[in-house]
Structure 1
């Protein structure tokens, strides 16, 4: 990656036209070929940019441009359109290049896979005596996140001891999650070796509409405290 701090003016032409008057800015040229022009504000979003594939052509200024103080001109052209970014460099204050290597990508914390693993290890959050049957329990329409066995049919619905619990895990549960779990339950309750199976929707947050629909369909809701589950927070020590 090449990073320049430079006084420059920028003109963009193509599907629209835009002009950045003379000012000190950061110009980034990435290894993928993209060129981005940043100011000292506006958070992460550049003022203007050209996405790859594109080409960068560096030329000396015209007589008129040189008279205005331009030292060199960058013409960044898109490969698949007529879009063009023209950067007129007046003064380069800093110019450095670094090989950043291969980036491993963003590793998100608290994704559904993490929540599934933690709840499988702490299945007692579903109730005392519950035991894990398996994660990713297969059905004809896809796997249920967790299949759990109740302690000797201790849970009772409509006078019938419930033997198993199907758990669907989301970061934020919406109506779609309720519908998904409903379809799983319809299939699972056809299996005499499993039935009766009740459902639990477990999530870090549950939309009010999803909670209402879940309760109407006899599906329990469990809000997961991710920090407490991974041992970095003690709910009992909170003031509020």
Structure 2
């Protein structure tokens, strides 16, 4: 992984356009080829990024750019879509590379891992006509718990939690923003599934067009709690 702290501006061109004006930012170039642009706020969410497969080329600025103070230009081009992220760098304060080795991945606790397995086996709980694509669908920023398709064939990303809070909704939002850039997946809708969903998380999810699903863990395991029985 390469870490660069630089004064730069950033332009994204493709299915959408976006501009970040000149400011000091952290640029992350990961081993998988992805580039993420971070500020000192916004928690874990990058301001902009390009996910693999993509290529990074560093070119000399032209006369106009050089006169504006640009010292080098990074062009990151997506291999499949030709979307482009252009980083115009003025000054670099830090530049280092680090070998992080092979990451073992996120280890979910027993209940979350079992919920994922059970929901994959009982994918109909998402709604009639839903089919499983795969568990742990990998993206450039981490695995989505479940990728499914609805009755119309549209992609559905599911994030699973024991207790659903705002952080979980933010995590799913980040996945959806990335996945909807992939023309092979888009449009992708989201489902936030948990044994319990906090009111604030539900409000945020629904505001972002994410469906909430409360899961009954015991029922999914086939455990009878005896409450509904006559004898």
CA distance in 1, matches of 2:4, 2:100: 16
Query: Corresponding residue for 2:228?
Result: 216
CA distance in 2, matches of 1:113, 1:64: 54
Question: Which residues in structure 2 correspond to 1:1-240 (within 5 Å)?
Answer: 1-109=1-109, 111=111, 171=162, 172=195, 174=214, 176-177=216-217, 179-180=219-220, 184=222, 199-200=224-225, 215-217=227-229
1:87 to 1:175, Cα distance in 2 relative to 1, 3 A: closer
Report the 3-state secondary structure (helix = DSSP H, G, I; strand = E; otherwise coil) of the residue aligned with 2:227: helix
- Paired residue total: 139
CA distance in 1, matches of 2:29, 2:107: 25
Structure 1: gaps (5+ residues): 115-140, 143-169, 186-198, 201-213, 220-240
1:78 to 1:180, Cα distance in 2 relative to 1, 3 A: same
Work out which of the two has the higher radius of gyration on C-alpha atoms and give 1 or 2.
Answer: 1
CA distance in 2, matches of 1:63, 1:89: 14
1:150-183: per-residue Cα shift (whole Å, max 9, x none)? xxxxxxxxxxxxxxxxxxxx942756546545xx
1:26-45: per-residue Cα shift (whole Å, max 9, x none)? 00000000000000000100
1:3 to 1:175, Cα distance in 2 relative to 1, 3 A: closer
Structure 2: gaps (5+ residues): 115-120, 123-160, 163-194, 197-213
Q: CA deviation at 1:55?
A: 0.2
